[in-house]
Amino acid sequence: MPIKLKPLRKQVIVVTGATSGNGLAIVEQAVAAGAAVVAVARNATGLNELETRLSVSGARIAVCVADVSDMAALERAADIAVEAFGGFDSWVNNAGTGTYGTLEKVPVEDHRRVFDVNYFGTLHGSLVAARRLRGRGGAIVNVGSILGDRAIIQQGPYCATKHAVQALTDTLRMELERERAGISVTLVKPGAIDTPFPEHARNFMDTPPRLPPPLYVPDVVADAVLFACAHPKRTLYAGGGGLLSSLFSQAAPRLADLAMEMIGTTAQQKPDDAGDLTRRDNLYEPRTDALRGSQRVHARRSSLTLQMQKLPAPLVVLAAAGVSAGVAFAALAARRNS
């Protein structure tokens, strides 16, 4: 069957990782657009507060306490969507966690936990959604990362999971397309986003972590995700800084590695600003959630790169070609001057 996605105001959307950062922004923008939402997260208190706050303004919202590493819990979330709204039209795999520290410093069990949430959580949600959407159509939107294009020092486990999510999403897309399931599959790749991630991540560095600039507000990711819920897209980059980093790494991988080795660690450290200590380390248990991080940073409120990707395909190709040519020229000039 052909892919036909409903406008947002007619959709029911399941969102994992819904009480913090990008997930919270997705929920808030979705209900503002008229969609019904099933919010999924580990944080029961955060879910109850979210449901109460949005219901007061007339939003249609149901909640499900679930750890995405548990596939049965996500089946329960799908059942709640059926009970509350008769089913769902889009499923957003957004929940994620991470660590800071070298591969040797991060214990192997913590490596596995990051994979349990980021990769297997996305796999679980994708399989549950595909089974429920098959034959009726809809969208599966996976939130990956620019770090699925290139790795960054001090975040090895997280980078590895996002590379795996890239492969998972591409495989799922091909399989569903081959059987003409009528399901759109999109990978959204945020750059650095001002969420509580640095505070939530388990830290093995001697200095409080931060996200390297340029940063964008979570609404930029929500914009990309909700566009993908209503418009079939293969990939959307949320934030021009991340896209430029990816293109530069492809054009000059050795130079990108050297730059990462020189400044990658210091760019991810904020010695004088640890942020809200009540948010620290949610790898195994939920902590205080919020829309944005509490560290003092500047975050851009919009992304021209994202808006360009939302244009019709021919215009996107022309714009991308121009950006790629500029990055290639810069890389060539750097090589000549080195």
Residues involved in catalysis: 158
Exposed / middle / buried, residue 312 (Cβ in 10 Å: 0-12, 13-18, 19+): exposed
Residues 290/207, Cβ–Cβ less than 8 Å: no
CA–CA dist 289, 18 (Å, integer): 10
Q: Which residue from 292, 310, 309 is spatially nearest to 301, judged by alpha carbons?
A: 292
Give the DSSP letter of residue 42.
S
CB atoms within 10 A of CB 291: 18
Distance of CA 266 to the CA centre of its chain: 24
CA dist., res. 228 & res. 310, Å (int): 9
Q: Is the CB of residue 91 less than 8 Å from the CB of residue 145?
A: no
Give start and end residues of each alpha helix (H) in the chain. 21-32, 44-56, 71-85, 108-118, 120-133, 156-178, 197-200, 218-230, 240-251, 253-263, 304-309, 313-337
Using alpha carbons only, give the angle 289, 290, 296 rounded to the nearest 5 degrees: 120
